[in-house]
Amino acid sequence: MSDNLEISTMLFSLFGGLAIFIYSMNLMGDGLQKAAGEKMRRILEVLTSNPLMGILVGTLVTMIIQSSSATTVMVVGFVSAKLMTLPQAIGVIMGANIGTTVTAQIVAFNLGDYAYLITAIGFILFFFFNKKIIKYIGQTTFSFGLLFVGLNVMSNAMKPLAQSEVFTDIIYRVSNNPILGLIVGALVTLILQSSSATTAVLLNLAREVGADGQALISLQGALPILFGCNIGTTITAILASIGARINAKRAAMAHTIFNVAGSILFMLFLPYFAKFVAFISPKGQEIEVVGRQIANAHTSFNVINTILWLPFVALLAKIVTFIVRGEEDTEENRVLYLDYKILNNVAVAMDLATKELTRMAELARKMMANAKKAIINSDTDAAKKVHEIEDIVDMLQTEIIKYLSTMLSQSALTDRQSVRLAGLMHITNDIERMGDHCKNVAELAMEKIDRDLPFSKEAISDLSNAFNKLNDMVDHSIQSLSEGNISLAKKVLAEESEIDKLETDLRDRHIKRLDSGLCNPASTIMFIELIHNIERIADHCNNIAEAVLEDLENNSASPGTVSSPATDIP
């Protein structure tokens, strides 16, 4: 009975320590993101122009957020949202595999003796300072120390287990059967959803002395488990791609092929790779150096595998395109960019909401183009098209507001993020109202056709000119929204004043034509309603530009954030 209780206590300690480790790793990544500002999504989106740059960016971002799974999930979301091409995504995923090895390198230094001191320092910085940047650094320091607290708990739990014949026999069987080791590594990582956590367990095993006086697991015994970790971690991207667009599925498949092929290749050369790792690692007694060897093996595997695949990124893209067949989706009555799986990453979620808003605005622009065609050319098909697109715009308004509201209820937002989220909600409603006014124009066009109301050439020319000016304004407002372009946003404000003046001028010109007998009195009310709807669309463009400017000005005034180019919404 006491033996069973002792085993239960040890297992609880082991899994409790593992839980602390995983939690602290996620907390550290969150603190690093906050301390660095909200730039990771822009780095991923903008600085991945070629596979090599993608690898460097993927490595950097994963080092910062401490999770290759999080990076690959973001990449899948970006590919689904058309922020990134498939070859770009493959490069970033390769880099993510390298970046995740940093955790193992940190753990291998075994700073357990200083764990509580580091945790205490982080606690003081986080709880006793009000400046945001210091609080974020404190959170990072606290979680860094907590990471080693978790490792200490695991290590203490493993000491008695290391002397257990049953436990050592299990480790012996796994470490002496490479195929079994590969499977165990993949399964454990699949369950824990963290290759870093599995690697941390391996490092703790390597530090424990077995009954024979040797390390509980050798380098060669650990390598297959390490390779299996890289296979197990691909499940996260696969799960994230479920229900996503076809290129997102291809990105997840590329991640799987990359890691599985690399693991199989290295399994074939296992003894030689073990010798290489031993050669580049510190020398000494096995129990003293095997931890560093495992960490170096983790890094070496991912770096070498990336180098081997780098010349074949385009080929890998073709392979996954062949395996995951199908055409990219055309524009449909459904959400394309919103992804509820990444709502915990507020910065990325807001960026995807902005992309969906940009798409919504572009649909409103199409409505306006068809509305103009309907009224100028008396085109009934164009009027019907306006109503078809209006259904999509209304659906997008509902879904975007729902998405932003869910983000508000699930996430602890910073003041900066709260302002931006409110701005996005207002923009959503403004775009929907633009669509409503386009529908009004289409309905007036149908009335004009049904009643056969005549418009003079001068009236048609004035309306056409007004629509052209409005089209430029809509273009500028959309571009300012998608790019965060200050100059274009300010230009929209100036253009809105011009449209206001134009409405007055057009009304006066129409009255003069009526007085001179050039226009039909029956068309007067319709003409006035048309130019009023044009002016109202311009007002909503103005609201969008003001929201963009407020967002940018708020960001530049926020302390503790990294300034961004004037052309980017951060």
pLDDT digits (tens, 9 = 90+) for 174-217: 778 889 989 888 888 877 767 777 777 777 777 776 655 666 78
pLDDT at 411 over 80: no
Of 450, 451, 436, give the one whose Cα is nearest residue 532: 436
Structural domain harbouring 316: 1-323
Domain stops at, among 323, 354, 383 = 323
How many whole angstroms separate alpha carbon 213 and alpha carbon 156?
A: 18
- Residue 1's pLDDT band, with cuts at 50, 70 and 90, is very low
Task: Tell me, yes or no, whether 199 and 303 share the same domain.
Answer: yes
Task: Tell me, yes or no, whether 177 and 61 share the same domain.
Answer: yes
Q: How many domains does the chain have?
A: 2
Q: What is the pLDDT of residue 559?
A: 40
pLDDT in tens, 346-386: 888 888 888 898 889 999 999 999 999 999 888 888 888 89
Task: Tell me, yes or no, whether 160 and 202 share the same domain.
Answer: yes
Give just the sign of the alpha carbon dihedral 116, 118, 121, 127.
negative
Q: Is residue 414 part of a domain?
A: yes
Q: What is the pLDDT of residue 3?
A: 52
Segment among 8-12, 91-95, 266-270 with least mean pLDDT = 8-12
Task: Tell me, yes or no, whether 295 and 363 share the same domain.
Answer: no
pLDDT in tens, 242-301: 766 687 788 889 889 999 999 999 999 999 999 999 898 888 776 678 888 888 898 999
Task: Tell me, yes or no, whether 376 and 451 share the same domain.
Answer: yes
Q: Is residue 70 part of a domain?
A: yes
Q: What is the pLDDT of residue 264?
A: 93
Q: What is the pLDDT of residue 428?
A: 92
Q: Give me the CATH number covering residue 492.
A: 1.20.58.220
Q: Is residue 61 part of a domain?
A: yes
The arithmetic mean of pLDDT across residues 442-469, rounded, is 87
How many whole angstroms separate alpha carbon 402 and alpha carbon 395?
A: 11
Task: Tell me, yes or no, whether 281 and 400 share the same domain.
Answer: no
Overall residue count recorded for the chain in this entry: 570
Of 146, 150, 188, give the one whose Cα is nearest residue 19: 150
Q: Is residue 335 part of a domain?
A: no
Task: Tell me, yes or no, whether 313 and 371 share the same domain.
Answer: no
pTM: 0.54
How far out from the chain centre does Cα 77 lie? Answer: 6
Contact 76, 234 (CB under 8 A): no
Q: Is residue 338 part of a domain?
A: no
Task: Tell me, yes or no, whether 293 and 358 share the same domain.
Answer: no
- Residue 162's pLDDT band, with cuts at 50, 70 and 90, is low
3-state class of 391 per DSSP? helix
pLDDT in tens, 21-32: 677 766 765 665
Task: Tell me, yes or no, whether 24 and 104 share the same domain.
Answer: yes
Task: Tell me, yes or no, whether 297 and 352 share the same domain.
Answer: no
How many whole angstroms separate alpha carbon 21 and alpha carbon 152?
A: 10
**Helices and strands (H, E) in the chain, number of each type:** 23, 0
Task: Tell me, yes or no, whether 313 and 458 share the same domain.
Answer: no
Task: Tell me, yes or no, whether 48 and 13 share the same domain.
Answer: yes
Q: Is residue 339 part of a domain?
A: no
Q: Is residue 117 part of a domain?
A: yes
pLDDT in tens, 103-142: 777 766 666 667 788 889 988 988 888 887 888 888 878 8
Burial label, 166 (beta-carbon count in 10 A; 0-12, 13-18, 19+): exposed
CA atoms within 13 A on the CB side of 216: 25
Q: Is residue 411 part of a domain?
A: yes
pLDDT at 38 over 70: no
